[in-house]
Structure 1
Amino acid sequence: MKNTIWFPFVENIKANDILVNLEFDDFFDHAAVLAHTGQKFEYQQLGKGTYEGRLLYAPLGDVSIQVEYSSQSLEKSVEVKSDSFTFVMSGSNTGQYGLPTRANETPDWIQVFPPSAEHVAITPPDTTLTVIRVKKDTLLGNQALLPEVCQWLADLDRLPVLLNATSHANRLRSDIAVGLEILNSADLLKYRSLLDINLATSVASTLSQLWLLNWSFPSVKASRTRERFLSMRKILLEVEPQLERFYAGATQQFGSKRLIQKVFADQVKMSPLAYSKTLRLHNARRKLLDETLLFKSIGEIAAEEGFWEWSRFTTYYREQFGELPSETRAKTAG
């Protein structure tokens, strides 16, 4: 991967005892590393071709900070840690974390994930996410947090909330970037604990200031199309790859087949058939990378996922992941 992958202010960051700095050519590896942060991740690569990713991650104590880049459009299934709040700011100019791409969107949002939140996000290509996690008790007990904001956070359900916060998103993003710069200096690593406290206070004060501007939070609800897609996706996952059963169940709940296709096109830029094929290709890739399944041939795995013609499976697989199934298997067998 080229070293020109852009992160705000942190192009020359290097790894050390605290700071993780990794590059990826496989989104499965990217998700696996993120899982070590204590959260559950599952990635599906919606875009076709080779993948490039980068991760900067620093656990400080009660706070952890992260900047993440993905070259491909991804579907991310995320389950947040049960003891922490997570705040996400998108750095993409083409779309938003967890929202369909629309021309009038900007990166000036803060997405709040309460403890144990579950979420499916669609990120467009070339997206940079800036993330900060703060332990629940640390955040709710911070003196910079207004009592009203403390109560609002405590009352959040397991669903994420999107806040319209123009300057505040930029402020948090900048504070995290400065924190990474501090951690990049060996002479300043001794201030890790102080940085941990300061970043927790930055989150608390940012939320409090945003609240004071409106005496509430300017939140944005998921669109009706988004909610429909998640419901349709759930039906598809239950019956996949049986598209006839999917359409039968989805049309009974939502109406016409045309509406279903329109929802999928809006959310993931593909038809239900193409989306189902993408999911099955990912299932095949997981099996090819599974050391416990080396006894199975590539043809057997392809057939298990509904690909009966070897040549078509190989073509589809190479288009999706930029390599042959045999090349994926060689990574595991080697």
Structure 2
Amino acid sequence: MGRSIQINTTSLDSFEGLHQAIRGSHVEVTQLGRGKFRGSLSHVGIGDFSLSIGSFSVGVRTQRIATDDRLVIGMLLSASERVTHWSFDMLPGDVLIMPPSTEHDGSFHGAAAYAAIRLDLAEVTSLFAGEPRLSDPATWCQKNRYRADSLTGLIATQRIRQIVPCLARQQASISDELADFWKRSIIDATAATIIDALPAENRGPVPQAMQLVRNVEHYLDTAGSRPVHISEICAQFNVSRRSLHRAFYDMLGLGPVTFLRRKRLCAIHSALRQNTPATATIGEIAMQHGFIELGRFSHYYRSLFGEYPSETLHASKRMSRGIDRRRALATG
């Protein structure tokens, strides 16, 4: 059964528009900075799961009341001046944990942008299976701030900004599997910062690395053409990202994220050779396989296959026309 993605973006001309700064939560907002308020607010809803992205031009204070029973994972995307949440100073890329039924207050001393994910606490067990600390709901019941590594934070903030315009291009009903992939992709933008900030695991060598890699390959083959997120792999085999990464590097010389990407690129390559774009564009096929930014997809594709997607498609069409002509001559 398909599931719809609900997306809306609104331009704001006053601080009152931020009262639903996090979809499903009521937030009290007070303008602190002088000047005309300008901003925007975008919401993505996939079932009860939501992503909110907001920006504003002047300083504000925000307060969330304690009656909200959902977990909120926030990320500061940009800030012109100091930002604090509770007693935590925030820098762009930092991740904030707002537990369920907890009052929250934040102070933005100037223009800023943020992202906030709102989900049921019970979902963390499946979303982070294989990560002992993150799959434990108790981990998310304490206020916390995770400091972002500069590179990780930059990548995460860029990626999460790309998700809204990407999903806006396919607002029609999508499969439950693809909806789950996009949920995991949204979560992953914040999870990378959290995992980097946690102490390294001390588990010794990865046992049976070859078997683990083979099991992952079999799972991907069984999944068919649908995109599979790295967190789904970790959940399926109850293994942490660090352990999975070590196993893939030991066996293949590349990480599991790169491996999954190349598997998806191969699936697209096969689709283009089969002339699938007769009913769908190259962009639509790339989106169906989990690629957010089409320019980056094209770069990955050319790096792997030595040609652009359009070249694969055109070569396939020429080959099909040649086969058709030969068949016509043989039967003529």
Q: TM-score, normalised by structure 2?
A: 0.50
